[in-house]
Structure 1
């Protein structure tokens, strides 16, 4: 797993040993099969993406109340695919130039995770601006979207981006439109079926 170092302005590698897997997730069986099926299709469709001229990337939005397993699902996806995880904390990113440099430093077969995107930083919309450091270009929604759609996705293969949020309704629609967030997954409170699975009955 990689996390952004604000002091050194680069990714730092840490051991990723989260035990969550799809076998242990307290999650509706139908939803679990749907997510796993989507991941399997994504991995197997390299030639399809090349044929249609699209970047080989996939976006997932995980939303729902706090404590419903969004972070555990991220870990289960990473363990299932055996992908590297990059944990991006927007509050530590000084501007669009830093964001672009960070994204270009990620490897193939990786997952870029932005948790609690609705409250991690007050991203200005495309029609507003947010003050940054003197002499720098502040971090903007347009900068984020341009990186995701452009350099980040076209300079590598097998890229997954995952946003998590407790409040989907607070997100700019540009962030979650099809093509950016290809699959939106609602993580609700554990059902009886999920509880039984979680305790191994």
Structure 2
């Protein structure tokens, strides 16, 4: 999904990018944006341990739990980012992403709403003349994605924060849903650990 998102974003060398959400998809998009030549990649998230990973991967972390991420991006860029990618799906993240983008920029919605609704102010996207792209999962990127991981140009191992045996699947899902114990990505193994 991250690679297809990047394809839709059409990131160019020197672009400034904002990614809302530092989960696994957002962290993969961060790495891919850098490979595509992005100049600065701002990453917002309310969870400090996810922002720490974003910084390890070279992103500029913006803690959205105690900072206005839109204001932080505008202060850092002076005119907004060229591309904003919404990969979090909080109630307000699509609107925040639209507000971060410069005039004529690109907005990509990768997150999936539980309520099956997309909301942002018409005036925000219309006045800026934004190009809006919606991500529908993978779109034939598996071979490219596998090559990027095999060549170590995209790192996945650092995102795995927990491992569970198959018999512990209910506990794994409960931990993942609660965002407890600094969870980023949980792996469930078929064999006992």
Q: TM-score range by the shorter chain?
A: 0.3 to 0.5
Higher RCO (CA 8 Å, separation ≥ 6 residues): 1
Higher strand share: 2
Give the alignment's TM-score, normalised by structure 2: 0.36
